[in-house]
């Protein structure tokens, strides 16, 4: 009976340790920003001011958005 209780206690302790380690891992992995994509458009705009390679991407995105807005309101031509 005693070895069974000892085994059960060890198993419960192992489950507790694994659960706590999983929670700590998830908190640490979700608290860090993943780059400019997860920071949003405002951060991309600011980054575009300082990094030339980002600026041309932002200009292209703005041009695409403007073309979509222009085409969305016009009726189709016959």
Residue 35 lies in a domain: no
Q: What is the pLDDT of residues 49-64, one digit of tens each?
A: 777 776 777 788 888 8
Please tell me whether residues 44 and 23 are part of one structural domain.
no
pLDDT at 24: 85
**Residue numbers of the domain that contains 59:** 40-72
Residue 33 lies in a domain: no
Please tell me the total count of domains within the chain. Answer: 2
Please tell me whether residues 24 and 45 are part of one structural domain.
no
Residue 12 lies in a domain: yes
How far are the Cα atoms of 13, 39, 60, 65 from residue 47, in angstroms, in the given order?
48, 11, 15, 19
How far are the Cα atoms of 47, 59, 61, 69 from residue 44, in angstroms, in the given order?
5, 11, 11, 21
pLDDT at 59: 82
Please tell me whether residues 45 and 23 are part of one structural domain.
no
pLDDT at 23: 87
User: pTM of the entire structure?
Assistant: 0.37
Residue 5 lies in a domain: yes
Q: What is the pLDDT of residues 24-44, one digit of tens each?
A: 888 877 666 555 455 577 777
Token output for 39:
């920071």
């Amino acid at each position: 009976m005693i070895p069974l209780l000892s085994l059960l206690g060890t198993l419960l302790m192992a489950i507790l340790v694994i659960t706590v380690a999983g929670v700590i891992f998830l908190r640490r992995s979700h608290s860090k920003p993943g780059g400019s994509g997860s920071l949003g458009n405002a951060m991309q705009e600011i980054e575009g001011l300082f990094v030339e390679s980002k600026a041309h991407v932002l200009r292209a995105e703005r041009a695409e958005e403007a073309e979509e807005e222009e085409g969305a309101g016009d009726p189709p031509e016959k």
